[in-house]
Amino acid sequence: MKELLEWLIPTLASAYAVYTFTAIGSTIVERSGILNLAIDGLFVLSSSLAYTYAIYFSIALQPGTLATFLSVVFTAITTALLYSAYTTLNTVLPVSQGAVGLSFMFVGYGLGAIVGNLGRVSFSLYRVRVEYIGVAQSGAIFVYLLVVLVVAVVHLVLYKLKLGVLVRAVGEDPRLVGQTGISVVRARFLSGLVSGMLIGLGGALFTLWRVGGWSQGQGLNHGWLGYAISIAGWRYPPLIAIVSVFFSLAYVLLPYLQSAGLPVEVSTSAPYAISIAAMVVVSITHRKSVTLLDPKSLGRAFFIEEQA
């Protein structure tokens, strides 16, 4: 039992951090009314960026903690910029959010493959050693605390501060918010920045901590897993923090569940089935709960005569 815990606590910490950050990021962008169908492509791209940044920084600076730290930071910044471009495009023009999301997803897959391969080519030229993240059992406790702290801060901002209330108001009725003179574009740009930063952080930790390397296609479907957690947690940060424990646990214990006789296909598809069930439950039981229901303008093209 002790051995199992020694293995499980740090392993679960990596999965929990990756999927919770990704799910919370997706929640912020969707609470602002932007359908986040770009998530899987941009998660794949961020996990590739983290690897290539890590190779480049390790060549330029020396392999070590600083190089790894900088690659995580740069991945988060790059993804934040991409996400803010995504949310801005979806707001300044009355485009189909579904189509824009899918196109970002496709481009993310493609660029992810190119960017990661560039890192791999540099690696084979310079044979540089990357210092991947490793956390011992004692350090894992701080990771859990950090993740919970981030969730608490996001919750506080979204539900208690003026800025967060504005972001949610934009998700409910952007036209009305726009008519009061507040810039919908700025609100969504900001939510794109924060979401992208968190999703980029998730992608970077996935490559530099959870996997510890890169291969083409890495991260594929893991963005959707974050999306599924966000939906199953009803896009409500405290619930997401709880749901994410179960999803991450199921994912980490996958090999054990398999050896215990549970078909791998059942455990891999369970998060998706649970997410759909969660959507049905919330729509039936909370028809009037603004806190848990989908934002009213989610996925709807935004049109206002003049946009700055």
Which residues of the chain form contacts with other proteins (CB under 8 A)? 35, 37, 41, 89, 92-96, 98-100, 102-115, 117-118, 120-121, 216-217, 221, 224, 227-228, 231, 263-266, 268-269, 272-273, 275-276, 279-280, 283-284, 294, 298-299, 303-308
CA dist., res. 195 & res. 189, Å (int): 10
**What is the spatial distance between Cα 164 and Cα 153, in angstroms, rounded to a whole number?**
11
CB nearer to other proteins: pick between 11 and 122: 122
Burial of 300 (0-12, 13-18, 19+ CB in 10 A): middle
Closest distance to other proteins from the beta carbon of 2 (Å):
34
- Shortest Cβ distance from residue 301 to other proteins (Å)? 8
Q: Which is nearer to other proteins, 180 or 215 (CB)?
A: 215
**Cβ-based nearer residue to other proteins, 9 or 222:** 222
Q: How far is the CB of 255 from other proteins (least distance, A)?
A: 15
- Exposure string over 23-47, b if 16+ CB within 10 A, otherwise e: bbbbbbbbbbbbbbbbbbbbbbbbb
Using CA atoms, how far apart are residues 256 and 185, in angstroms rounded to an integer?
47
User: CB–CB of 30/36 below 8 Å?
Assistant: yes
Minimum distance from CB of 186 to other proteins (Å)?
A: 13
d(CA 133, CA 233): 28
What the block records as the tokens of 301 is: 């093209």
Q: How near is the Cβ of 305 to other proteins at its closest, in Å?
A: 6
Q: Which is nearer to other proteins, 9 or 240 (CB)?
A: 240
For other proteins, the closer CB: 107 or 250? 107
